Amino acid sequence: MTKPPIASFRSVSKYYGTHCALRDFDLDLGEGELLTLLGPSGCGKTTVLRLLAGFETPDSGEILLDGRTLAGVPPEARNVNTVFQSYALFPHLSVFENVAFGLRMRKLGGAEIRERTGSALRMVRLEGLGGRRPLQLSGGQQQRVALARALVNRPRVLLLDECLSALDYRLRREMQLELKELQRQTGITFVFVTHDREEALSISDRIAVMQTGRIEQLGPPRDIYERPANLFVARFAGESNVLKATVTGVPGPDTLIVNLAGTLLTVQADRNFGIGEKIALVLRPEDLHVHETPAGQSLAGRVLERTYRGVTLDTLIALDAGPRIKASEFFREDAPALDHPPGQRVHVSWTPGWEIVLPHDAET
Amino acid sequence: MTPKPEVFRAVAIGLLSGWLLLFVLTPNLLVAGVSVLSRNPAGFAGAPATLDNYRRLADPIYLHVFAESFTTALVATLLCLLLGYPFAYGLARTRPRLRPLLLTLVIVPFWTNSLVRIYAIRGLLAAKGAVNSLLLAAGLIDQPVRLLYTQAAEIIGLVYVLLPFMVLPLYGSLEKLDPRLLEAAQDLGAGPFRRFRRVVLPLTLPGIVAGCLLVFLPALGLFYVGDVLGGSRHLLIGNLLKDQFLEAQDWPFGAAASLVLIALLLAFLALYAVAEKRVAATNDDE
């Protein structure tokens, strides 16, 4: 990043009792980016938001906003706003007054409040509903009120805490697009917390995958999905078939010969491994092709089960080498024979180089 | 044979209306009827019909009792609110496991008859009571101060007896208050005072009103508090009513006084209802 970061975490740690929520956490937020904190529950992602909003104070380390420390600055004095998971709309105030709340706290003039609140409501397509009470709105509309209430203050950073998780699937997709669009329009930096990988992959400029209070990998969605730093990220970023193998030869740079339970495979690796080292071979289900006859480098097995999923046909295969793997194939004109009956002997192949080779951590 | 839902509904509504008719409407109509009769030494009330009882109420003596009683009740209510609100707030914010215990402690005094407790207060406030002894021992005063038979003693007694009626409804509404709303207000730039003024207060207003009504209404009528702590000089409306019925045997006048009290209370409730609608309306047009 060439521009200085808007906000930075400098080796921040946070404990709840003896439980460590964040450990030596470092993160820089860029101007106008949409950064997603992705991780399972309890990984510390919400703690990051609460620390930046000011609801929690770090036990050690420092948080900066526009180069100034936030130590001792209460939430009400931070130019940061939050869209809460529960929305936390004020039930006793109208939609208009909910959105105007932050502006009234800043003692702006009546005309400016009306104008800015009105345009915030237009932005989230709720014009005309300003007189309603929050409880008279649908979930999606409440979500938009919460967004408008935060955005109307033009914060330096907007924090979104799993705020789409209460919506149904279709509405959620819609709101994801809308969020991305709002973020582009306003140019405000968004920090979005979620445990939904599809959501993270589809809307983010950058994703920080978190586990037990640390960032496992930080990068653009494509890097996270295609070049995961470790097995945890690989599994969390998408469906994965993980196969254990041993390196038996290093014929050239970035190329390995590995032994997968007796089958020798040539694979591409973007890091160095020594002979005898254990590796994990990660294959995404959608990268796999299933044939009834051997085709190039492939793994042999037997079909266990098929699941028709509309867009794809999923096949569960028991490899002769032992593990089970799943293949998700798209219906295409040039591949008519997708439907292999259970019990059928098959060979699984993939485009050379699309495999991911990772060190085999203790964690499997 | 199982009774049909309509039958059940008819029976339930019938019982309820019968009860209200018999024990609420009829007595009040009787009181209203008696209030326009004359005093009759032989019975309780008799002919001729008259409005004299109401005219007598306009006497400055009685107006004074009404005014003083309302002031006493009002001060006691405000004190209960000032003491009860922080108390209920603390109660609603303690760890959930502690709350039942603390709530029980609020309710425990009810297990002792309130008349007995009022006599205990009298013991504390007497010239040679605990409070005076303590003040004398501490050297704050040279001779006992007069505490008993003052308006202050009456107010202390009322606050003591009625505080739980303030705390419980307040606790009910404060406990329901979602702490995340306070975080949201803080996030939007509201400091402690404005969080209270803009979020906590409006959302707990029903509890405040309920508590105030539950304290104010009995405070007007708890005649034994007036008898035991206020003495003869500080009458509550309750004392006035009791005296007319039991001491003076003037039922028609007592009935007139109690009807006027009911009318005044209904006027208060109506005022409150109107005020509340106004508040709701202003919130809506802004």
pLDDT in tens, A265-295: 999 988 888 888 899 999 999 999 888 888 7
What pLDDT, on the 0 to 100 scale, is given for residue B284?
46
Mean pLDDT computed over A336-355:
84
Q: What distance in Å separates the CA atoms of residue A248 and residue A76, rounded to the nearest whole number?
A: 60
Nearest CA in chain B to A154: B188
Question: Looking at the complex, does the CB of residue A13 fall below 8 Å from at least one CB of chain B?
Answer: no
Question: Looking at the complex, does the CB of residue A359 fall below 8 Å from at least one CB of chain B?
Answer: no
Question: Looking at the complex, does the CB of residue B5 fall below 8 Å from at least one CB of chain A?
Answer: no
Crossing angle between the packed helical segments A139-151 and A110-123, to the nearest 10 degrees: 130
Average pLDDT of every residue of chain A: 90
What pLDDT, on the 0 to 100 scale, is given for residue A106?
94
pLDDT of residue A334 exceeding 80? no
Report the sign of the C-alpha dihedral through residues B114, B115, B116, B119, in that order: positive
Chosen for mutation from A103, A105, A153 (greatest number of chain B CBs closer than 10 Å) is A105
Chosen for mutation from A92, A96, A103, A160 (greatest number of chain B CBs closer than 10 Å) is A92
Among B residues 109-148, those touching chain A with beta carbons less than 8 Å apart? none
Interchain proximity B191–A81, CB inside 8 Å: no
Of A5-14, A186-195, B120-129, B196-205, the poorest mean pLDDT is in B120-129
Interchain proximity B180–A149, CB inside 8 Å: no
What pLDDT, on the 0 to 100 scale, is given for residue B229?
87
Which residues in chain B are closer than 8 Å to A143, comparing Cβ atoms? none
CB atoms within 10 A of CB B98: 10
Which residue among B181, B184, B286 sits closest to A97, beta carbon to beta carbon?
B286
Q: What distance in Å separates the CA atoms of residue B242 and residue A282, rounded to the nearest whole number?
A: 90
Which residue among B178, B188, B286 sits closest to A105, beta carbon to beta carbon?
B188
Chosen for mutation from B173, B187, B201, B276 (greatest number of chain A CBs closer than 10 Å) is B187
Share of chain A above pLDDT 70, in %: 97
Kindly give the parts of chain B with pLDDT less than 50: 284-286
Nearest CA in chain B to A76: B189
Among B residues 177-216, those touching chain A with beta carbons less than 8 Å apart? 178, 180-181, 183-191, 194, 198-199, 202-203
CA of B203 vs chain A CAs: smallest distance (Å)? 7
Mean pLDDT computed over A237-266:
89
B103 in Cβ contact with B91 (< 8 Å): yes
Interchain proximity A76–B187, CB inside 8 Å: yes
Nearest CA in chain B to A81: B187
Q: Strand locations in A91-177, DSSP E? A: 157-161
Check residues B232 and A21 and name the one with the higher pLDDT: A21
What pLDDT, on the 0 to 100 scale, is given for residue A156?
96
Of A36-50, A63-77, A322-336, the poorest mean pLDDT is in A322-336
pLDDT of residue A204 exceeding 80? yes
Task: Tell me if the pTM is above 0.80.
Answer: yes
Of these ranges, A73-77, A254-258, B121-125, the one predicted with the greatest mean pLDDT is A73-77
pLDDT of residue A241 exceeding 70? yes
Q: What distance in Å separates the CA atoms of residue A149 and residue A100, rounded to the nearest whole number?
A: 7
Check residues A169 and A152 and name the one with the higher pLDDT: A152
The band of A2, judged by pLDDT with boundaries at 50, 70 and 90, is low
CA of B274 vs chain A CAs: smallest distance (Å)? 18
The band of A333, judged by pLDDT with boundaries at 50, 70 and 90, is low
Using only C-alpha atoms, what is the Rg of chain A? 25
Mean pLDDT computed over A53-73:
95
CA of B143 vs chain A CAs: smallest distance (Å)? 52
What pLDDT, on the 0 to 100 scale, is given for residue A336?
59
Chosen for mutation from B188, B193, B204 (greatest number of chain A CBs closer than 10 Å) is B188
What pLDDT, on the 0 to 100 scale, is given for residue B112?
86
- Two structure tokens written together for A83: 């869209």
Largest CA distance in chain B: 81
Q: What distance in Å separates the CA atoms of residue A126 and residue A119, rounded to the nearest whole number?
A: 10
What pLDDT, on the 0 to 100 scale, is given for residue A232?
93
A54 in Cβ contact with A78 (< 8 Å): yes
Interchain proximity A105–B203, CB inside 8 Å: no
- Two structure tokens written together for A16: 């709840």
CA of A289 vs chain B CAs: smallest distance (Å)? 50
Q: What distance in Å separates the CA atoms of residue B131 and residue B179, rounded to the nearest whole number?
A: 41
- Two structure tokens written together for A99: 């959105």
pLDDT of residue A121 exceeding 90? yes
Can you give the length of chain B in residues? 286
Nearest CA in chain B to A150: B188
User: Which tens digits make up the pLDDT trace of B235-276?
Assistant: 788 888 888 888 888 889 989 999 988 888 888 888 878 877
Interchain proximity A53–B187, CB inside 8 Å: yes
Asked if the peptide bond before residue B48 counts as cis, ω within 30 degrees of 0, the response is: yes
Cα angle B212, B218, B224 (rounded to 5 degrees) comes to 140
Interchain proximity A131–B188, CB inside 8 Å: no
Q: What distance in Å separates the CA atoms of residue B260 and residue B253, rounded to the nearest whole number?
A: 11
Check residues B234 and A226 and name the one with the higher pLDDT: A226
What pLDDT, on the 0 to 100 scale, is given for residue B130?
85
Q: What distance in Å separates the CA atoms of residue B185 and residue A222, rounded to the nearest whole number?
A: 38
